Amino acid sequence: MNQKDFNDKYLNQIICGDCLEVMRDMPDNCVDLVLTDPPYDAKTHKGAILDNGIGFPPLASVDELTEEMLRVSRRWVIAFCSLEMLGDYKKASNKAWIRSGVWHRVVNMPQLSGDRPAQACEGVAIMHNKGKKVWNGGGKAAFWQYSVERGKKKHPTQKPYEMFSKILKQFSFEGETILDCYFGSGTTGISCVKMNRNYIGIEISEEYCETARKRVQEAKDSMGLFNKH
């Protein structure tokens, strides 16, 4: 696939489908960064007393997902996960593993069952393909402290726009292409639009694809208005 065909098919598009099936058709090393928030696995939720209300199935395995994310990325792969899953991503990525990061969720939801401590943080699996590593965070730690989304969320696991924008600034450059293979309601796309990056979004839910399209278009419209002044 030449660059024009790739751009026409994928660049700044939201693709409704299974992420593994879509990524298998994508060329090697075709994006600069994968930034995504896959579902937790079944082990993380095992034994929970209360329904989490998320409404979509747990991640079956990180192995094939990690392999595909690393194959399509030229450099970084950043995946949010439960703390318990960091070891699984480390094993799956093998020599591409860099280190574990942490998102401190600040104002966190309490443990509604009351029989165990609530989860205070999420893990951030940080991987990189062979080659020189460049990031824009200087000597800062892999630690992000942002409150969880509250109020009128568009997706049950919606991540803070400010956090994703910060990560984009740290791990990519203007004009580069970012893949989010669990696009949800489009926060990654909004961040890309506002920070002059290209995006590719993959989302299996038609409902969330439509929500993401509307939110990303609103971001584009707002940037158009801003650029006129």
Q: Predicted confidence band at 20 (pLDDT cuts at 50, 70, 90)?
A: very high
Phi then psi dihedrals of residue 54, to 5 deg: -75, -40
Could you tell me the residue ranges of all domains in the chain?
Answer: 3-227
Q: Predicted confidence band at 148 (pLDDT cuts at 50, 70, 90)?
A: confident
- Which of 106, 140, 136, 138 has its CA nearest to residue 122? 106
Q: Predicted confidence band at 96 (pLDDT cuts at 50, 70, 90)?
A: very high
pLDDT digits (tens, 9 = 90+) for 179-221: 999 999 899 999 999 999 999 999 999 999 999 999 999 999 9
| Angle of CA points 58, 59, 61, to nearest 5° | 145
- Which carries the bigger pLDDT value, residue 35 or residue 53? 35
pLDDT value at position 52? 47
Rounded CA-CA distance 210/194 in Å is 20
Sheet holding 13-16, edge to edge: 13-16, 198-203, 177-180, 31-36, 73-81, 121-128, 97-104, 143-145
Q: Reduced to 3 states, what is the DSSP secondary structure of residue 131?
A: coil
CATH code of 3-227, in short, is 3.40.50.150
- Which carries the bigger pLDDT value, residue 151 or residue 121? 121
The mean predicted confidence, pLDDT, of the chain is 88
Please state, in angstroms and as integers, the Cα–Cα distance from residue 34 to each residue in 44, 165, 171, following that order: 23, 14, 10
The whole model's pTM is what? 0.89
Rounded CA-CA distance 106/111 in Å is 14
pLDDT value at position 105? 85
